[in-house]
């Protein structure tokens, strides 16, 4: 075989149109040189769990069945973005504000973004134009991604056993050939791409891609595989906890002294009454065959079956009557709480705890994160 002839591997690559594979081999890029097999599996599993929760949130928004599954991890070179994203896309930048320090980018095809925008704006997902996305459509997609990533960060809080929060995502068109939106892509030369299968009803059967720098990906994997045994307390917070514990001890001690004084006074009064009255032997009934229960347990049992109304309050707002009358399907009402902020748990409209919203299978739930103090509960009951 002469030197001018193509090898069988090169012929196969050309027949498959696998330009990316050829360029990757030319660049000497090997995913395992940057991420081990275990790290790749951990990234895929994290994405599977967090985006599984995000798909439920998106399903509720779009009123369509949404599946985001089958993650695959690959490595891309920033100089080859035109090969990775040859068609117009939309880039959503997500910055972590708590739990992690870093950012990643979600990329979806522009055609898929148009369908999501149409559904968000009250359409059926088929009213699509040939024109590029306008500002209203971009805002609709941004809100959908905001809800998705908020739900994903809640799932990540469970995975990492710490609070994970994000800032509201920003959105921009990504057209590498025209140089649009490339500033949203991290500047690292090598980037990790986690691709997911995205299905929305019968309207979308495509991909959604998560792009993140390798150091950030490694940090997340390390925190997952090597969690800290015990988180150090902030010195100020630790001092505050000690102060509250000391105050509680003093309060208990004071209450005990008052109870002891009251008991002594009551005993003295009873003794005086007994001495002033005639004393007769007491007649007792036979209780050998009757099972006994402590009085406090009996009293508590009387309350256990009483139904109480438990309410989880996401937030509140006030609007003029004219604004309320203008509400329709697809309208968005802004509340007084930020995404990821704890929600209020009320019993019979009385605040008793704080929590965070979670997704259990197909249902929403709330995880209790903080029980308000006894003094606050008593104050709320007044």
Q: In the chain, count of helices (H) and strands (E)?
A: 12, 11
300, pLDDT greater than 80 = no
Q: How far is CA 315 from CA 139, 164, 318, 337, 340, in A?
A: 22, 20, 11, 6, 12
Q: What is the pLDDT of residue 17?
A: 46
333 in any annotated domain: yes
Q: What is the pLDDT of residue 194?
A: 92
**What pLDDT shows up at residue 349?**
79
Residue 163's pLDDT is 87
User: Does residue 215 lie within any of the structural domains?
Assistant: yes
Lowest mean pLDDT among 172-186, 248-262, 300-314: 248-262
What's the pLDDT score for residue 90?
93
Tell me if 125 sits within 8 A of 118, measured CB to CB: yes
Shared-domain flag, residues 187 and 43: yes
Domain boundary among 164, 197, 225: 225
For residues 211 and 312, state if they share a domain: no
pLDDT for 232 equals: 46
Same domain, 214 and 348: no
Which residues, 6+ apart, have CB-to-CB distance to 50 below 8 Å? Answer: 152, 153, 155, 156, 159
Q: What is the mean pLDDT of residues 180-191?
A: 87
Q: Give the mean model confidence (pLDDT) for residues 330-359.
A: 85
pLDDT of res. 82:
86
Q: Are residues 309 and 216 in the same domain?
A: no
Q: What's residue 255's pLDDT?
A: 59
Token pair in block for residue 186: 């991290």
What pLDDT score does 346 carry? 86
Whether 321 is covered by a domain: the verdict is yes
Please determine, for residue 107, whether its predicted confidence score (pLDDT) is greater than 60.
Answer: yes
pLDDT band at 236 (very low <50, low <70, confident <90, very high): low
User: Are both 334 and 193 inside the same structural domain?
Assistant: no
Residue that terminates a domain, selected from 190, 225, 260: 225
Geometric angle at alpha carbon 88, from 43 and 65, rounded to 5°? 60
* CATH number, position 345: 2.30.330.10
Taking the C-alpha atoms of residue 142 and residue 130, their distance in angstroms, rounded to an integer, is 20
Decide: helix, strand or coil at residue 68. strand
Q: What is the pLDDT of residue 253?
A: 63
Task: Point out the domain boundary residue: 225, 243, 271.
Answer: 225
Same domain? 175 vs 319:
no
3-state secondary structure of 269: helix
Return the pLDDT at 24: 39
Span of 51-55, 201-205, 208-212, 231-235 with lowest mean pLDDT: 231-235
**pLDDT the model gives residue 91:** 92
For the chain, list the strands marked E by DSSP. 66-77, 89-98, 102-109, 165-166, 170-174, 190-200, 204-213, 310-313, 343-347, 350-360, 363-371
More confident residue, 202 or 271: 202
Question: Is residue 83 assigned to a domain?
Answer: yes
- The reply to whether 328 falls in a domain is yes
With a pLDDT cut of 90, the percent of the chain lying above it is 13
pLDDT digits (tens, 9 = 90+) for 25-55: 444 467 788 888 888 888 888 888 888 888 8
Assess if residue 280 is contained within a domain: no
Question: Do residues 58 and 159 both lie within one domain?
Answer: yes
Same domain flag for 200 and 88? yes
Residues 40 and 152 in one domain: yes
Does residue 260 register a pLDDT over 60?
A: no
Distance CA 157, CA 163 (A): 5
206 or 9, which is more confident: 206
Q: What's the whole-number average pLDDT of the chain?
A: 77
Range of the domain at 318: 305-382
Q: Please report, for the domain that includes residue 64, its CATH number.
A: 3.40.1550.10
pLDDT band at 171 (very low <50, low <70, confident <90, very high): very high
- The pLDDT assigned to 164 comes to 87
Task: Return the closest-CA partner of residue 107 out of 209, 213, 212, 179.
Answer: 209
CB-CB contact of 23 with 83 (8 Å): yes
| Residue 6 pLDDT class (50, 70, 90 cuts) | low
Mean pLDDT for 355-380 is 80
Band of residue 231 on the pLDDT scale cut at 50, 70, 90: very low
My answer on whether 86 and 186 are in the same domain is yes
Q: What is the pLDDT of residue 26?
A: 40
Average pLDDT for 245-254: 63
Query: Of 205, 177, 197, which is closest to residue 89 (Cα–Cα)?
Result: 177
Which pLDDT score, from 0 to 100, does residue 206 have?
92
- Asked if residue 143 and residue 26 are part of one domain, the reply reads yes
Is the pLDDT score of 20 beyond 50? no
Tally of domains in the chain? 2
In contact, 174 and 61? CB cutoff 8 Å: no
pLDDT at 299: 57
282 domain residue, yes or no: no
Whether residue 192 is found in the same domain as residue 312: no
Q: Does residue 261 lie within any of the structural domains?
A: no
pLDDT-derived band at 178, boundaries 50, 70, 90 = confident
pTM of the model: 0.54
């Amino acid at each position: 075989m002469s030197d001018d002839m193509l090898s069988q591997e090169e012929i196969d690559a050309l027949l498959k149109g696998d330009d990316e594979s050829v360029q990757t081999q030319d660049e000497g890029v090997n995913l395992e040189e940057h991420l081990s097999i275990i790290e790749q599996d951990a990234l895929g599993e994290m994405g599977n769990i967090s985006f599984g929760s995000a798909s439920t949130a998106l399903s509720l928004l779009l009123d369509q069945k949404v599946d985001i599954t089958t993650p695959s991890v690959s490595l891309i070179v920033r100089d080859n973005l035109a090969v990775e994203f040859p068609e117009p896309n939309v880039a959503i930048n997500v910055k972590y504000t708590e739990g992690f320090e870093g950012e990643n980018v979600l990329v979806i095809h522009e055609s898929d973004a148009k369908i999501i925008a149409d559904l968000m704006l009250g359409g059926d997902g088929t009213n699509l134009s040939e024109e590029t996305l306008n500002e209203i459509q971009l805002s609709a997609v941004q809100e959908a991604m905001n809800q998705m990533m908020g739900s994903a960060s809640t799932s990540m809080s469970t995975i990492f056993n710490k609070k994970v929060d994000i800032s509201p995502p920003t959105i921009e068109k990504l057209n590498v050939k025209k140089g649009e939106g490339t500033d949203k892509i991290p500047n690292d030369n090598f980037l990790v791409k986690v691709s997911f299968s995205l299905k929305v009803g019968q309207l979308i059967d495509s991909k959604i891609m998560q792009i993140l720098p390798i150091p950030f990906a490694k940090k997340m994997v390390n925190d997952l595989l090597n969690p800290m045994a015990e988180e150090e307390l902030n010195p100020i917070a630790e001092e505050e906890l000690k102060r509250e514990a000391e105050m509680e001890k003093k309060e208990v001690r004071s209450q005990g002294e008052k109870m002891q004084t009251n008991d002594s006074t009551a005993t003295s009064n009873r003794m005086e009454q007994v001495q002033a009255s005639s004393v007769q032997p007491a007649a007792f009934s036979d209780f050998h065959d009757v099972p006994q229960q402590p009085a406090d347990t009996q009293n508590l049992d009387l309350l256990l079956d009483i139904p109480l109304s438990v309410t989880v309050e996401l937030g509140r707002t006030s609007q003029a009557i004219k604004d309320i009358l203008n509400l329709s399907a697809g309208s968005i009402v802004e509340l007084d709480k930020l995404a990821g902020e704890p929600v209020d748990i009320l019993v019979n409209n009385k605040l008793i705890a704080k929590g965070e919203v979670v997704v259990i299978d197909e249902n929403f739930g709330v995880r209790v994160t903080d029980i308000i103090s006894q003094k606050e509960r008593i104050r709320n009951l007044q």
